[in-house]
Amino acid sequence: MNKTAIVSEKLKIAQWAQSLCTLSDERWFQAFYEGSWGTADVIAHFIVWDRFMMEQRIAYLLRDELLPQHPIDVQTMNQQASQYARSGISKGDLIETFLSIRQALVSQIEAVPDEKFPLPLPGKPSLTLAAYLESMIQHDLKHQEQIDQFLQMSKD
């Protein structure tokens, strides 16, 4: 996948997220199943991971520096996302925050020279930038499908 396709896919998720503004607050926070997240949690999760990519991945690539090697506490990051989604922030504000962060991420991706996309990430010889970003798109799409399926099932 080239830079143009990656940017396009990242923006499609943002466009889709805008459609969630019409959800009732009940459905916005409703868990997909017992003990799981709801739509609000997923949107906050996107925010947390977009910020991570901007601050801990792409910013380093733009400066031609090695990526940080500290461990990533995925569980804590995800818990913080859920707490943020349920902190009292409105649905509209959460979606707007996501759209703003996603646009900033896309701008950063666009700033990366095209020739870096097929190259291995610094310090990660088996992973190219394009493959990393594609994996993050697949992650986005997995959550989009999860939400879409939930909303379709809860219509019935």
Which tens digits make up the pLDDT trace of 110-125?
999 999 999 998 888 8
How far does CA 127 lie from the centroid of its chain? 19
What residue type is assigned to position 89 of the chain?
I
How many angstroms separate the Cα of 50 from the Cα of each of 14, 24, 47, 66, 72?
Answer: 12, 25, 5, 19, 14
The pLDDT of residue 47: 98
pLDDT in the model for residue 16: 97
**Hunting for tokens 């009940």 — which residue is that?**
26
pLDDT value at 84 more than 90: yes
- Residue 148 corresponds to which amino acid? D
Q: What is the mean pLDDT of residues 148-156?
A: 83
Residue 128 bridge partners (DSSP)? 120
Q: What is the pLDDT of residue 105?
A: 98
pLDDT at res. 46: 98
pLDDT given for residue 75 in this prediction = 94
The CA R_g of the chain, rounded to the nearest whole Å, is 16
pLDDT, residue 70, reads: 83
- Model confidence at 69, pLDDT cuts 50, 70, 90, reads confident
What dotted CATH number matches 3-155?
A: 1.20.120.450
Select from 137, 108, 107 the least CA-distant residue to 16.
137
The pLDDT, as a whole number, for residue 8 is 97
Q: How confident is the model at residue 4 (pLDDT cuts 50, 70, 90)?
A: very high
> How far is the C-alpha of 67 from the C-alpha of 119, rounded, in Å?
14
- The pTM score is 0.94
pLDDT band, residue 133 (cuts 50/70/90): very high
Strands, DSSP E only, in the chain?
A: 120-121, 124-128
Say if residues 43 and 95 touch (Cβ distance below 8 Å). Answer: yes
